[in-house]
Structure 1
Amino acid sequence: MMNYFEETKKLLNNSVLFYLITTGMDGKYSYINGHYAKEFSHINNNFVGQPYHITMHPDDMNTCVEVSMKCFENPDKLFPATIRKHDGSGGYVYTQWEYKAMFDDQKNPTGIFCLGYNITKYVAEELELQIAQEEIEKNSVTMEKIIFQQSHLIRAPLSNIIGLTGILDKTLLDSNTSNICDMILESSNQLDEVIRSIVNIART
Structure 2
Amino acid sequence: MDGEPLGMSTSALDAHLSSCPVCKQWVEQATNLTRTARLDATPVPDLADQIVADVVLPARRVHRRRTLLRVALFVTGLVQLGIGLPALVGDSIGMAMSMHGAHEMAAWDLATAAAFVAAAWLPRRAAGLVPLLATFLAILSVLSVRDIVTGAVGPDRLATHLAALAGLVLLVFLDRTERAIQPSPAQAVHTHVDDGPTDLRTVA
TM class by shorter-chain length? 0.3 to 0.5
Bigger fraction of residues in strand: 1
> Under a length normalisation based on structure 2, what TM-score does the superposition of the two structures give?
0.36
Bigger fraction of residues in helix: 2
